Amino acid sequence: MTLSPHPVLFDEARPRALGVAYEMAAEGWDVLLVRDVLGRFTLVVDDRGRQAEADWAGAWTERLTETLRPYATDRPLLLASALFSADDLLNSVRIQPDPEHRPGEGHGNVRLLDNTVVGEDWGQVSTPALEMDGSRTHRTALYGFKGGVGRTTATAILARHLADRGHIVLVIDLDLESPGAGPLLSAGAELPRHGVVDQLVESAVHNAAILDLVAPTGYTPRTGRGELWVAPARGQGSANVPYSYVDKLNRVYADIPGADFAERLETAVRACESAVARGSESGRRPDVVLLDSRAGIHDIAAVTISRLCDLALLFGTDNRQTWSGYGDLFGAWHASGQARRIREKLRMVASMVPDSPQRPMDAYLKSFRDHSWECFSVLYDDDAPLLATGELVPGAFSPSLEDDSAPHHPIPILFEPGLVGLDADSAPGWQDRAFVQAAYRDFLETAMLLITAEPQSEGIS
């Protein structure tokens, strides 16, 4: 097998390991290929009843180490005769025959045992760190308890709006199970070869330095020095090697020694931010990072909201599922003692707001606000004592129902059927259409103030 000069990446490790396994099987050995939760391989050879030559194991161990590099375990070759419970391993019900292997006469069999893990990590609340020059990129998370509420479309529109005002904007797609921000923002421009999932997998084996993680979207801002970059969840891969997205996804949540999932996700975000500085003509880091978070109560959402962002825009519609879900989430934050440190960076977004004779917009938003306030009350200090002046004691946080700057007060995005199932490639300039401008006007005005503290000039373009 010819080895390429660059480090072995996840996608290349499996075909390389199988290639070695096939060669061993051709010599008559039965081989079990075991992949661990980091994607590293061990070959278990059933040598019981057959003795190998003295230097046989050493030669194959050296071969595996050189072929797989970071994706070889510390002991890449194990002999069944040396295992304490070889039968338990070799007869595991989780082992599958390799569907690509067609053994010839006298050949051994090749089988696979693939270990995966999905971890859970509700990261501790923290503030994004300062850069070495004392500056800090502003990160805004866009999150919805459930999917289908227009979060990714809103991310794309907000990103272009910020770029139009001279900001260097990076959108990072953290919806790993349902990636969409990359294709929507690129609108035909070439995506990077690798994605966030590659960074999470490769960094676990200290192999992420060469990754191509971000790309300019091809969007031309109207004024100023704006730039719009995207870090997709899924890269476009290589023409020569199949892109094993599902196999990588099965491993991204694994904790590794010295770095839990929350730490690894933060490292991935910082790697994407640094990649923009290296690729930008100005050499500047992004001013604003938009984190398109996965929906639901999930590790990614928890870490993104509690640890990675300065502002979290929480999307929802006025229904029982929304308020039940956010109630569970807020209750968990309250019970863990995180409420005081997280509540003031939250803000509700009322997405897909109707405006019809049957359900007028004003009535809908009032109902949304009332339900939102009830839901947020677990995070507020409703029983906070007052000073003699009638003001709350310092540190207390108890906004009123009518407070339009409070986290529970909804930022509206109007429902527009034309945005359902939008294909950006076939609808160039979609963000400039009148119905889009009308639907997102209030959202962009408020988000601009929250993110940049810049007043909104006339219009939203």
- Yes or no: say if 316 and 346 are a contact pair by the CB < 8 Å rule: no
Backbone angles phi, psi at 374, to 5 degrees: -60, -40
**3-state class of 78 per DSSP?**
strand
CA distance 440 to 418: 13
CA distance 196 to 210: 13
Looking at residue 89, its pLDDT comes to 82
CA distance 237 to 241: 8
- Yes or no: say if 94 and 50 are a contact pair by the CB < 8 Å rule: no
Looking at residue 37, its pLDDT comes to 86
- Yes or no: say if 279 and 167 are a contact pair by the CB < 8 Å rule: no
**3-state class of 34 per DSSP?**
strand
**From first to last of its 461 residues, what are the pLDDT tens digits of the chain?**
555 567 899 999 999 999 999 999 999 999 999 999 899 999 999 998 888 787 899 999 999 999 999 999 999 999 998 887 888 888 876 787 877 777 888 899 999 888 865 434 444 555 555 554 445 689 999 999 887 788 988 999 999 999 998 899 999 999 999 888 888 888 777 889 999 999 999 998 989 888 999 999 988 887 778 899 999 999 988 888 889 999 999 988 877 887 778 888 999 999 999 999 888 777 788 999 999 998 887 788 888 988 899 999 999 999 999 999 999 888 877 766 677 778 889 999 999 898 888 888 899 999 999 999 999 998 888 655 555 555 555 567 788 899 999 999 999 998 776 666 555 554 556 566 666 777 889 999 999 999 987 545 444 44
- Yes or no: say if 122 and 331 are a contact pair by the CB < 8 Å rule: no
Looking at residue 381, its pLDDT comes to 80
Looking at residue 406, its pLDDT comes to 93
Looking at residue 280, its pLDDT comes to 78
| Owner of token pair 């050995």 | 29
- Give the type of residue at 109: N
* Domain annotation for the chain: domains and CATH numbers: 10-114 (no CATH), 138-316+416-452 (3.40.50)
> What percent of the chain has a predicted confidence (pLDDT) above 90?
44
Q: Which residue(s) pair with 44 in the sheet? A: 32, 78
Looking at residue 120, its pLDDT comes to 44
pTM of the predicted model, to two decimals? 0.80
